[in-house]
Amino acid sequence: MKKYLFVLFLALALLSGNFAYAAGDNDLDLSGVVPTLLRVEDSGKSDSSRIIDSVRGRIVLQVEDLGEAWYVDPVSGERYYLRDGKAVMIILRTLGLGISENDFSRLKSGDSGLIEKLKGRILIRAEKDGEAYYLNPKDNGLNYLYDGDSAYKIMTDFGIGISTADLSQIPISTKSAYGASAVFDEEYRDGAVSRFDSGINPKNVTRSVLAHYWAEKINRLRRERGEPQLKMSRPLVDTATEWAIEIGKSGDPSLERPNDQVVHDWIGTRLLADEFYELNDRFFLEQIGWTTMEDSIRGGYEALDAIFENFMEKTTSPSGYNPVLSSAWDNIGVGFYFKNTHDNNIMMYMVAHLANFED
């Protein structure tokens, strides 16, 4: 069993005052599936292009890991993580292509030209209550995706095995997290990640995917309590990323800022520099965690699960109250710093900043 090394801190402060406080969904395991292994023919293209072209529109299973399932979008060539039925439903909404009843009939009748054009696509019958179908490129069959769970089973049943080395040649979509959307990816473009020395970049998971996973873990608990959902904030992504890089490079995770500056002043100064106004009477919460992880979505999720469990245990009062569940919070930003360890794993430093920006 992997051993996690982590410590989590929490800081809460009012921008207008001097108060500060500090305190210390399961994936379906497909490891038993033994699918046909992908064989890539030599076409003269680069390794990445040949592999992507061979699996466009296919579901691939990472047979050297735990059988993680991915859908490769035939249009972009990016892979989407099929975590479970809910994740599949998100992909249906994100990538589904509307199709007329006339074209649907042509597909059923075996129109080779249209099949070749649409194979591997997720098709939505816009004139038939939005029914979703997967046009399997292996046998050109139309497969009805009744709901998330049935869609997950149907799509993974068609999976073809792929090695981890080949899978790494297929770019991962930042929309492939549990419930993730393109909005999260936008918050990470041209921000602090690109402005600072942000360490190594894992090959099989992105910062925006992990950030969404952390925010969703908090939001799931907040929904249970009827609290408002946290929105991802680009300015907070920047402040969280900057501090994650700072503690990651130093190897000294801490709330303490240079020159004895308190956390809320440090965050506020950077938000003002980023032309973020109306900060009077705003307050912030900071979460810091670090642990080792494997370079995979599952590895990143497991690392964040361990940090989150430790965080909730240490910061929840005997009465069941945890400050992260406060109704005051409405925005969040999550930042990461990654560096290699001596045993070929990755050390992940994570910082989350929560704020009350909305009145």
pLDDT of residue 196: 58
Please say if the pLDDT value at position 287 is more than 80: yes
**What are 209-248's pLDDT values in tens digits?**
788 888 888 988 888 888 888 888 888 888 899 999 999 9
Instruction: Output phi, psi for 16, to 5 deg.
Output: -95, 0
Q: Is the pLDDT of residue 34 over 80?
A: no
pLDDT the model gives residue 234: 82
By the 10 Å C-beta count (0-12 exposed, 13-18 middle, 19+ buried), 337 is classed as buried
pLDDT at 117 over 90: yes
| 27 in Cβ contact with 66 (< 8 Å) | yes
Q: Which of 164-168, 331-335, 343-347 has the largest mean confidence? A: 331-335
Position 225 scores a pLDDT of: 87
pLDDT of residue 177: 43
CA distance 213 to 209: 6
Using alpha carbons, select from 205, 225, 203, 207 the residue that is nearest to residue 215. 207
pLDDT of 260 reads 79
Mean of pLDDT values over 280-289: 82
Q: What is the pTM of this model?
A: 0.56
- The per-residue pLDDT for range 312-343, each reduced to its tens digit, is 888 888 887 888 999 989 899 999 999 998 88
Residue 252 banded pLDDT, cuts 50, 70, 90: confident
Q: Helix (H, G, I), strand (E, B), or coil: what is residue 128?
A: coil
Domains delineated in the chain:
9-24+183-355 (3.40.33.10), 47-162 (no CATH)
Q: Taking a C-beta distance cutoff of 8 angstroms, is the pair 293, 301 a contact?
A: no
Q: What are the CA-CA distances from residue 85 to residues 26, 28, 77, 155, 231 (Å)?
A: 12, 10, 22, 10, 23
For residue 184, what pLDDT is reported?
Answer: 43
